[in-house]
Amino acid sequence: MSLIHARRLIPLLAMCIVFLVASCGDDSPSSSLWEEVPLVDAPSEGAFYSLAFSGMRGLAAGYGHDGSQSTGYLVSRMSDGTWSPDTGIPLPSVSVLAAVGFTPSGEAVLAGVDYGPVPTGFVLDQRGGWSRHDFAFGGLAFASTPAILRVAGVSGTSSAVILKSSLPDVWSPEVLPFPSPGGNERGLNDVTASNGVFFVCGFDDAGDGNAVSPNSVLFRSDGDGWERIEAPCGGCSNREFRSVAAKPAGGVFLGGAITDFSSGATDDYRAFLLSWSPSGGWVEVVLPNPASLDRVNDILIAGNGDIYLACGVESTIIVRLPAGGSLERDGTIPGAVIRALAESSDGSIWAAGSVRASNTEAYRPAIWKR
């Protein structure tokens, strides 16, 4: 999906399921480092969009399709290593779950879209006894510090595409310093936090693709306000900012795709990864064969310092940068679309998304463990 196409789909988020698919065009067998884990009572069609851990507790969120309608699909990691539907959370009957996260004290939060009778975005908050809060935008990612919880997402017309919460059941919209006037179509694809500093990346369709008014944007907050950080890509009109990960020592990794949608051209993707620090500025990380990686869908900085990239558009290549080492291919999973990476407190690395056996089959939800 191109950045341009993704923007056109934003107003439809509350009306349809958006496949945030992603590919690498590699036919090599799946790496033994990454194994698919069992799902109990899994639907035959669907996908996971988000994955999070608090200690050993893991939650994966997405949707399942039973042949007549789609509904939110949420699974929890069980003690026997399987993942089973979590029936204790009051999900809307016709919905899709787009994001799951945890507060530092271990309470879960969910964001998604309720399809009926009037489609609306919502947040379910365990801090308030699974209280529900409806909003006119769809949340795509959570991040938290000990004092602040934020959810970022997409909205067709509003500048307020990020919500902040410091107390249970209290959510307030924040206005970001988008570089262009007016609302138009704006969205935030990812949000991250470390040591009290938040970063959020997304796009502004009202931008005209120059250095002053770029199409893709990155913001930073170390308190109540936000500032825009200018990325080294001019107007960023051919860059899709898909994932952002805050470094524990400060700064951020920013990943996505360089796209080419020139007149008559076939959609073309080349993955990119940028590193930014307040003192050292921007550095472009050289990826191995970025055209085969297509796009960086998610970035995980593990507790041991290793960095994982989930790359692809129709199949997945996972790239790992060991602490103090060089980039290497960690796994190839044909037919898989990995949208989220996460780490458990035991140091195990997990991935969630969807997979299909062939191009003629439907995607089904899947989780992998390294």
Look up the domain containing 244 and give its range. Answer: 3-369
Residue 79 confidence (pLDDT) above 60: yes
For residue 231, give both structure tokens.
């990325």
State residue 259's pLDDT score.
87
Count of the separate structural domains present in the chain: 1
State residue 262's pLDDT score.
60
Q: CA 109, 245, 28 angle in degrees (round to 5)?
A: 100
Q: How confident is residue 20, by pLDDT bands cut at 50, 70 and 90?
A: very low
Residue 208 confidence (pLDDT) above 50: yes
Give 264-322 pLDDT, tens digit per residue: 556 688 999 999 998 889 999 999 889 899 999 999 999 999 999 999 988 899 999 99
Domain containing residue 162: CATH number: 2.130.10.10
Give 242-266 pLDDT, tens digit per residue: 999 999 989 999 999 998 766 555 6
- Name the pTM for this structure: 0.89
Q: How confident is residue 183, by pLDDT bands cut at 50, 70 and 90?
A: low
